[in-house]
Amino acid sequence: MNSLPNSAGLGAHAVTISRVAVNQWHAVENDLVVGRGHASRRLDGRTFLSIDTWRAAVFDRLAAAMLADQSTPLYTVVDETDRDLTASWVRAGFATWRRESEFVVPTGLTRATVPSGVLIATADDVAEAPLRDLDQAIRDEVESTVGWQTMPAEVLPWQGGTRPIDTSKYTVAVRDDRYVGLVRVATMTRRPRIGLVAVLAAEQRHGIARALLSQVLGGLHRSGFEAATAEIDETNTAAMALFEGFGARRTGGSLELIRRPEGA
């Protein structure tokens, strides 16, 4: 355990910053924990930091200790309305990397025609092997254009085919026995969450994404859900237009911040 005492601006008692685990730090004052820091390495290799404290000086000391022990680039996510927390991360050398809007999408309100030659498969009708092929193909296309790092942090990276895949979470579009588009939905939350909508580049602009989303929202409505949630990168104007076409309402947003290597 590494400790760094410091009392500047922290009151009568010295505050000690301690690394209590490989990815955890505590700020202790007078035997009380007054701040906590955590570093989480995501499956895509990026490290995200979080700090929990109500005192700016403690935040700065925790951030300094964490940054000294971590290689850049580093990331963090804050609510767009939390200006104090954003300012704290900016003091630590972070800058806005991407903005994401949060939407609530009503279910069962809009129907879309399935394009000619396309079939929609759900749940038990989705096969794992072609789903993995589609997943890989979509990831290759994203990586060769905007880069997978622009995807939401919670969208899992490809794991070389070793990561378990739950086909029941997917609805797919099929053309000529080949999977060409998908929607992934998580239902283990208060509201179902639409985690990913993607169509192969060669199949875009034919209404496949709209047909997939319509199928998913209709199924959720029949299951008793009045709405679903989704998060969309604000630079993805096509996705924004798609969801707004289904009556999606923006309810908030978040900022993903980055601390780049010096000189980058």
Q: Which of 258, 129, 104 is nearest to 194 (CA)?
A: 104
Give residue-wise pLDDT tens across range 210-240.
999 999 999 999 999 999 999 998 888 999 9
Res 5 pLDDT > 90: no
DSSP-derived letter for residue 71 is P
Out of 65, 99, 133, a domain closes at: 99
**What whole-number percentage of the chain has pLDDT above 90?**
70
Give residue-wise pLDDT tens across range 129-188.
999 999 889 888 988 876 666 665 445 444 444 566 788 899 999 999 999 999 999 887
Does residue 264 lie in a domain region?
no
What SS3 string covers 88-125?
HHHHCCCEEEEEEEEEEEECCCCCCCCCCCEEEEEHHH
Give residue-wise pLDDT tens across range 98-145.
999 999 999 987 788 999 999 999 988 999 999 999 988 988 898 887
Report the pLDDT value the prediction gives residue 148, as an integer from 0 to 100.
62
Res 9 pLDDT > 50: no
Distance CA 28, CA 49 (A): 19
Is residue 37 domain-shared with residue 7, that is, in the same domain? yes
Around Cβ 25, how many Cβ atoms within 10 Å? 25
What is the total count of domains within the chain? 2
Out of 75, 99, 123, a domain closes at: 99
CATH number at residue 19: 3.40.630.30
Does residue 263 lie in a domain region?
no
pTM over 0.85? The answer is no
3-state secondary structure of 244: helix
